[in-house]
Amino acid sequence: MTLLVHGNAELRLAMSGLGSNICLVPTMGALHDGHGTLIDAAKDFAGKDGCVVVSDFVNPKQFGQEEDFEKYPRNLESDLKIAHSAGAHILWAPSVEDVYPGHWPLDIESDPRFEILEGRTRPGHFVAVIEVVTRLFDIVQPNFAVFGEKDFQQLIFISEMAQKRDPQIGILAVPTKRAADGLALSSRNVYLSSDQRNVAHLIPDALKKAVQLASKGATQFEIKKTVTEMINTSDLIEIDYLEILSNDLTELKTGVVGRILIAVKLGNTRLIDNMPILLQDKNDSN
Ligand code: PAF
């Protein structure tokens, strides 16, 4: 059974009766099979003495003024069912006051990489994500925490933050769960109309093509051109950014695994995706 708790004291009490290997799966609710995969990974990793806590908190600070904070899908009843069938021990749905007691700001060190990719159109987003995850870590004090690779940029910053500030907390990265046509599962997929959903497979298709081209020695320019052409076969999808970067989000050299990262808009819905990519030297690719 999954216990649903709200306040921090209630959370502590619930945790005290469960296993001591505490694993936190931070979410903003609207749970889907992708979150189920994170919870599964947490359970496997935590083992017999595990206590898997899924936090369910739509963090107001990480949404920009023009973003979808108000309409972000919220359904605690369905979240509880999904958390339960994935085997979480606790679903913790704190209030804003639980997470931000007194509302004093945490001092989060800035980084130029906060301004690229997602940060280009979402100023302040990563400072807010790091702040909320830091606070969730402080409250839950997990042994490890699980994050999906779909939000790759977030995963990198959280891993770096944890290493600096909370090195005792292990960060477990879980590969992206995809629908049958390859679309990365996301809570925002529910916004898509059926026409938009029908063309959304172009996003993973184009990324897969990019990975193939890279293995044959294509240049970044050639890869980006092909991805752009594939996505542009639908006039319902507009590319926001398309980048090929190293795993620490700096320049990618040939012969080293990095990431191809994309953000697109389908109508008002913004979706992101990424895949590992290895750029070959033309001479090594035969
Ligand atoms: O990835 C998310 O759902 C959120 O950014 C997170 C990590 C739960 C912080 O609010």
- Confidence (pTM): 0.96
d(CA 42, CA 25): 7
What pLDDT, in 10s, does the model give residues 225-262?
999 999 999 999 999 999 999 999 999 999 999 999 99
**Do 187-280 and 3-174 fall under one CATH topology?**
no
d(CA 125, CA 132): 11
- In the three-class reduction of DSSP (H, G, I as helix; E, B as strand; rest coil), residue 45 is classed as helix
In this prediction, residue 102 carries a pLDDT of: 83
Q: Are strands 90-92 and 144-148 parallel, antiparallel or unpaired?
A: unpaired
CB within 6 Å of ligand 1 — which residues? 26-28, 59, 62, 129, 132-133, 151, 154
3-174 homologous superfamily: HUPs (3.40.50.620)
d(CA 213, CA 133): 37
Atom index in ligand 1 nearest the CA of residue 187 equals 3
pLDDT at 285 over 60: no
What pLDDT, in 10s, does the model give residues 201-229?
999 999 999 999 999 999 999 999 999 99
Can 35 be counted among the known catalytic residues? Answer: yes
Q: Which CATH class is domain 187-280?
A: alpha beta
Q: Which of 93, 90, 99 is nearest to 15 (CA)?
A: 90
Extents of the domains making up the chain: 3-174, 187-280
Mean pLDDT of the 15-32 span: 97
What pLDDT, in 10s, does the model give residues 98-110?
999 987 778 899 9
Q: Which of 211, 188, 116 is nearest to 156 (CA)?
A: 116
Is the CB of residue 226 less than 8 Å from the CB of residue 213? yes
